[in-house]
Amino acid sequence: MSIRILFFSIICLLSFEQKMFAQIKLDGQFKNWTAQNTSINGQQVCYAVSSPVASDPKNLNRAESRIFVSFRSNDKIQNEISITSGYNYKASSKVNFAIQKKEFNFETEDNFAWLIKYEEEISLIELMRKSTQAKVSATSASGTKTTDTFSLNGFSDAYETAKKKCNFIS
């Protein structure tokens, strides 16, 4: 398992179980997005996170889908976008992120997806700041196709709060 997958698995688990893990701190609720931070192995990790406002198929049994934009000061990592759709992805599949008639294809491994190129992350973040909605389409390991619709209301404020919390100044 790669370090990236391990990191996102820990963040996802901590986000789902906030009440059990006191180290997760809510830095702000901004409409459909929150800014949170935690410490993993002594490193502060800050992130903006959101859950979908609509999912299709509606009655599919899966964990919650989420989008993260993460910052890790010690590693000088910023603007790292990842997605989990609540299941393991079909091997070698891509997750499609559609926004303003543009599409971004995320690489997958197990139950996480991410962009490879930093330039794509920056472009996507700029679109997310200007848009009100995005759709994420993916295929599970069992072949089920899903589409999650995310509201981007509150994204800019959550993003800026997470960025500042981990000392990345605009």
pLDDT band at 4 (very low <50, low <70, confident <90, very high): low
Tell me what the pLDDT averaged over the chain comes to: 89
Query: Per-residue pLDDT for 163 more than 70?
Result: yes
The structural domains of the chain, with segments of one domain joined by +, span 3-165
Mean pLDDT of 53-76: 93
* Tokens, residue 73: 């000061």
> Model confidence over 67-117: pLDDT tens digits?
999 999 888 899 999 999 999 999 999 999 999 999 999 999 999 999 999
Q: Which fold has domain 3-165?
A: Immunoglobulin-like (2.60.40)
Q: What is the pTM of this model?
A: 0.86
> Model confidence over 139-158: pLDDT tens digits?
999 999 999 999 999 999 99
Query: Per-residue pLDDT for 54 more than 60?
Result: yes
Please check whether residue 46 is in contact with residue 36, taking contact to mean a CB–CB distance below 8 angstroms: yes
